[in-house]
Chain A
Amino acid sequence: MSWSSSNYLCLSSSSSVTQFSRCKLPCESEGQRGKCQDLNRATNISAYNSLKPPSFKLDKGQRRNDHVLKKPRNISAYYSLKPPPYKFDALEPYMSKRTLEVHWGEHHRGYVESLNKYLGKDDILYGYTLDELIRVTYNNGNPLPEYNVWNHDFFWESMQPGGGNLPILGLLEQIEKDFGSFSNFREEFIETALTLFGSGWVWLVLKRNEKRLAIATTTNAVTPLVWDDIPLLSLDMWEHSYYLDYKNDKARYVNVFMDHLVSWNAALARMARAQSFVNLGEPKIPVA
């Protein structure tokens, strides 16, 4: 067995089939599994995407990352298809299981596969994390190649079963500070989503320079990362996202998202992390 540099992915060629599986970390043996939680949540896993769909039974807080590889030995690092952090029927009746199956299983998977295929041809783009790759390929608004991978990962995590209601704690305060009130924010978000023409995304972002929250829209597969803003929430306004459940009734889709799907917990966690980079509070040190 050899250890990859990330210390997480293991390549074993002990049998005739090269197995690409999760390594047994030292902290997992001897009954110390609890200490492994943070490592398990690495978000930039480079795993060769296999054609076998991952099983959907997830243990609490776990992600299933086993892939069986039946490909040639010269493995390179590519991007993997991450499943949503809930089962496919968990968002019923607001987002049907069928939508998740097609949206994640066909669209998202298709984007990952075509990205991997493209990377197979282009040496210059090797070695980037997904965040970096997005910035590098943005090309000032004409991204090449075009792929919607990061946005979809972010979108699944922006929703949760039993979502909706109101944000809490610091996020609510910040929303009230920057939009006046939560209902102002909600109205503005919905209106922005409904007036977006064509395929795109609506975001709640933390603007790095202005140090405030804002609602942003992007077309096709662009993400606010390219403007150095920090996204907190997203809503997929591509038609494939709502057509099976709502057909052309965008208004109902957007309202249902705000009322029943949006994960304020995720947004709060992201904002907390963002505050390591952006100081939202009053400066405590007086300027000389």
Chain B
Amino acid sequence: MVMASVTTIASHLTSTFLYAPEFCRLSQSLHTSQRPCTRKSVSGTISANIDLKPPPYALDALEPHMSKETLEYHWGKHHRGYVNNLNKQIEGTELDKMSLESIILASHNKGDILPAFNNAAQVWNHEFFWESMKPGGGGKPSGELLELINRDFGSFEALIQEFKLAATTQFGSGWAWLVYDLEDKKLVVLKSSNAINPLVLGSYPLLTLDVWEHAYYLDFKNLRPDYISTFLDKLVSWDAVSSRLEAAKVSIEGK
């Protein structure tokens, strides 16, 4: 995923559409992929067009580690709520028709956040989170990812420890991240509160874990450490992390 820069705000009619494929999922045919994607405005329908993307697996596919009920609420109510609220907020404004990443960067406003930020960032975070997991996940990473982990953390176990610590000590609502720092060219573990994500912190996200209570309360109640361990042992998709690392390297070379 290439990070769209903030300067595209001025030319929102054209250049934003070149990027994120997730921006216009409705258009099936190739030749429409570069045109603005709007639904026909029937009275009462919102025409702002951030979509609710489903997870890349069925809602019960992560059982018994993450229950179907959790997915139904977490994706079906929370994630959907963020999407709907975001669309309501951006309709008719300059943020309308921008890609999700652009909306996040624009509404982050260098820290002085605008109302659309929380919803936009949460939509992005949740999409990223579903894709960070897979049925039959867990295990160990391999290849270049494992090499970088050994280089930057000493060992895979050390990474796990640090990730667990970040996720456990994030007080209140937030996320734990594994990111690729584009400046220093190394892997880093971060934690962020509420909706903040690495896009606004200047790094390239590779993996995330949602530690808002709604993510684990139905399955684990207050036992956040158990949830974190289950995620790392049984759910995390190292394949997704590897392919994101590839994309990160490409994006550096492209600059």
Q: Interface of A with B (CB < 8 Å)? A: 102, 106-107, 110, 146, 197-200, 219-221, 238-240, 243-244, 247-248
Contact = CB atoms under 8 A, between A and B. Distances in A.
A98 to B, nearest CB: 9
B222 A238 contact: no
Given A197-B118, A198-B194, A243 B173 contact: no
Contact of A240 (B171, B174, B193, B213): B213
Contact of A221 (B171, B174, B213, B217): B171
Nearest to A103: B222
A240 B222 contact: yes
Interface stretch (B20-28, B48-56, B73-81, B236-244): B73-81
A239 B212 contact: yes
Interface residues of B, number: 19
Given A102-B221, A239-B214, A240-B213, A198 B172 contact: yes
Contacts of B218: 243, 247
Contacts of B217: 239-240, 243-244
A146 B173 CA distance: 13
A200 B173 CA distance: 9
A200 B193 CA distance: 12
Given A102-B222, A110-B222, A248-B77, A239 B193 contact: no
A199 B224 CA distance: 15
B73 A238 contact: no
A243 B73 CA distance: 11
Nearest to A106: B222
A238 B213 contact: yes
A41 B173 CA distance: 35
Q: Which 5 A-B pairs have the closest CB atoms?
A: A239-B213, A199-B172, A198-B194, A220-B172, A198-B173
A107 B222 contact: yes
A152 B235 CA distance: 34
A248 B221 contact: no
Contacts of A243: 213-214, 217-218
Contacts of A102: 221-222
Interface in B126-182: 171-174
B223 to A, nearest CB: 8
A248 B213 contact: no
A244 B217 CA distance: 8
